Amino acid sequence: MPETPRRARQAATLSLVFGAVLLAGAATGAWGDPPGPRRHSSADVAPAAVATLAAGQDPAGAALSEQQAQHLIGANGDRWGAYYSAQEYAEFSQGLDGRYLGVGLSVGRGQDGVTTVSQVQPAGPAAAAGIAVGDRLLLIGPDQADHLPVTEVVARLRGREGERQVGSEVTLAVRRGDAEAREVRLRRALLDSQQVAVERLDKGVVRITVRAFTSGVAEQVRAAVHGAHGVVLDLRGNSGGLVEEAAGTAAVFLDGGAVGSYQERGGTRELTAPPGGDQRTPLVVLVDGGTMSAAELLTGALQDRSRGVVVGGRTFGKGTVQQPSRLADGAVLELTVGRYYTPAGRSPEGVGLLPDVPATAEDAGALALRVLAGLGTRA
């Protein structure tokens, strides 16, 4: 089944969206589902809308049906463009405020193509059913998980049209180690997104896991870093999200200067960190193939500024910027308006970012701690 932008991008800023596959590398099941049957029979696009896009102008206020908008996205060759009803967009915005409808389950897919559980939210439906990190996800519904794009797994965890409600069910088959597979029925619930997890280790080392950049994440990271003698910033499976939060997180570790830049209609905007960030505490950044978009912007900023050592695998390679525009009926059309770049002028689009120290998924966590030990700790 082909991957669609609706399955792949679901997060918006107040003014711009850095596409967040929630979660392609680590799917929470928070958002993402293709629409139900089309509500309009005509795919003809209003000539005025075509002219507006051709001129690079904002289509806000255009009177477009869903089919017309989808046709326009396809005709424009916009891989990451997407259409959302007013209700769908409100749900996505709610998620960025820290809540989502899902089962509390994140998955990742290694180079061997196996789909495994990478995160389980405490007290969520998946945890209550006994699912644990490392379990293999075999089936979602009647279909083999490994045969689906991870973003399709996201869509099914989230629920299709008519299923996106508290108490709706999704059936999974999971296996732990060499044990027999077991079927699990999970009921979706409204969950706190809990995008930041903090673990305090020996010798003042703090491991901070950031799963996505929703509202308030930068301040949570800043609070976690306070007093640390060394930091492992784990961005594996991070889907991206709010650019302001990603830039704010970079600023925690930078004493002013460039964070990156992005294009929008009419020009280029620079992202900078205010002075006063912590540049002394040793830092290691963990990344993998699920590190995406705004998380790649953060990684590139720290890497280009020689602020930390990046450990893990090549990142996803999502480096485009989408801008949401409200249509006449309240729906939202998101269109790609440009790329973003790291301080050194690199774009991760299509190629990702390479780590300073390559590591397999199995070894990355332990290697990050060894690299941090080699950097020393702040007294």
How do residues 145-183 score in pLDDT, each as one tens digit?
999 887 788 778 878 767 778 899 999 999 999 999 999
Enumerate the CATH 3.90.226.10 domain ranges in the chain, comma separated: 196-319+340-375
pLDDT digits (tens, 9 = 90+) for 68-118: 888 888 887 888 888 888 877 776 666 566 667 889 888 888 778 899 998
Structure tokens at 353: 């970012």
What number is the average pLDDT over the span 198-225?
Answer: 94
The CATH fold assigned to 196-319+340-375 is: 2-enoyl-CoA Hydratase; Chain A, domain 1 (3.90.226)
What number is the average pLDDT over the span 225-231?
Answer: 96
pTM of the complete model: 0.68
Contact between residue 189 and residue 128 where contact means Cβ atoms under 8 Å apart: no
pLDDT at position 7, please?
Answer: 36
The chain-wide mean pLDDT, for the chain, equals 82
pLDDT at position 265, please?
Answer: 65
Enumerate the CATH 2.30.42.10 domain ranges in the chain, comma separated: 102-192
Residues facing 264 on adjacent strands: 267
The CATH fold assigned to 102-192 is: Pdz3 Domain (2.30.42)
pLDDT at position 91, please?
Answer: 66
Categorize the per-residue pLDDT at 9 as very low, low, confident or very high, splitting at 50, 70 and 90. very low
Q: How far is CA 229 from CA 10, 226, 232, 286, in A?
A: 36, 9, 11, 17
Which one has a higher pLDDT value, 190 or 301? 301
Q: Is 15 exposed, middle or buried (0-12, 13-18, 19+ CB in 10 A)?
A: exposed
